[in-house]
């Protein structure tokens, strides 16, 4: 009987790296000339996995997002892991926007990923196991094809490949 080989597809974010990125963004915000005298801020709520951005106007909100996203990129965190909610009015005419940090594969995204792999016509089996998708095959080459295929495809969440067996 042939051995079965497998790996897991996960979407995880290191909260320590997120915290470091937000701290760096806060330092840059305090040093930027265009934010002098502004009430703009970037705050991280680790328990809820949310980053709250507060800005004076739309221009400064866009600049805050750029600062945050550039710090995420420099720390090796995918920007796809940020899910921005709608802007809302805050105190005294300021604008607030919350960005949720997506960690783990929601069941609908796991199903979408599994369907994507099946549509690729590579001879592998997929199993949804909680917050991960297990890919199983009797050939290691097929597993490598799946990884190469998923790296080419633009998926809405950052994907990592783990537990090669």
18-46 pLDDT, tens digit per residue, is: 999 999 999 998 888 888 888 888 999 98
Residues 30, 72 within the same domain: yes
- Do both 33 and 80 map to the same domain? yes
* Number of separate domains in the chain: 2
pTM of the model as a whole: 0.78
CATH at 41: 3.30.70.990
Q: Which of 30, 25, 17, 62 is nearest to 43 (CA)?
A: 25
Q: How distant, in Å, are the alpha carbons of 65, 72, 84 from that of 61?
A: 6, 16, 12
The pLDDT of 141-154, averaged and rounded, is 85
pLDDT at 74: 93
Q: Which residue has the tokens 């909680």?
A: 130
For 65-114, the pLDDT digits (tens) are 999 999 999 998 888 888 889 888 877 888 999 999 888 888 888 888 88
Q: Which CATH number fits the domain that encloses residue 151?
A: 3.30.70.860
Q: Give the range of the structural domain holding residue 79, as residue numbers without chain letter.
A: 15-101
Other C-beta atoms closer than 10 Å to the C-beta of 31 total: 9
Name the pLDDT band for 2 (thresholds 50, 70, 90). Answer: low
Whether pLDDT at 139 is above 50 = yes
In this prediction, residues 109-126 reach a mean pLDDT of: 85
Element (H, E) at 89: strand 88-89
């Amino acid at each position: 009987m042939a051995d079965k080989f497998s790996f897991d597809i996960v979407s995880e974010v290191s909260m320590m790296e997120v915290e470091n990125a937000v701290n760096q963004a806060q330092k840059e915000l305090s040093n930027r000339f265009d934010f002098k005298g502004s009430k703009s801020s970037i705050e991280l709520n680790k328990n809820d996995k949310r980053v709250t951005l507060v800005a004076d106007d739309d221009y400064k909100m866009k600049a805050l997002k750029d600062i945050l996203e550039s710090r995420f990129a420099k720390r090796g965190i995918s920007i796809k892991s940020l899910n921005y909610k709608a802007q809302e009015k805050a105190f005294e005419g300021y604008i607030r926007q919350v960005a949720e940090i997506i960690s783990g594969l929601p069941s609908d995204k796991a199903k979408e990923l599994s369907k994507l792999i099946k549509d690729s016509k590579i001879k592998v089996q997929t199993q949804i196991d909680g917050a991960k998708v297990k890919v199983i095959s009797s050939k290691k080459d097929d597993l490598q094809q799946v990884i190469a295929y998923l790296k080419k495809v633009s998926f809405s969440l950052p994907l990592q490949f783990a537990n090669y067996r």
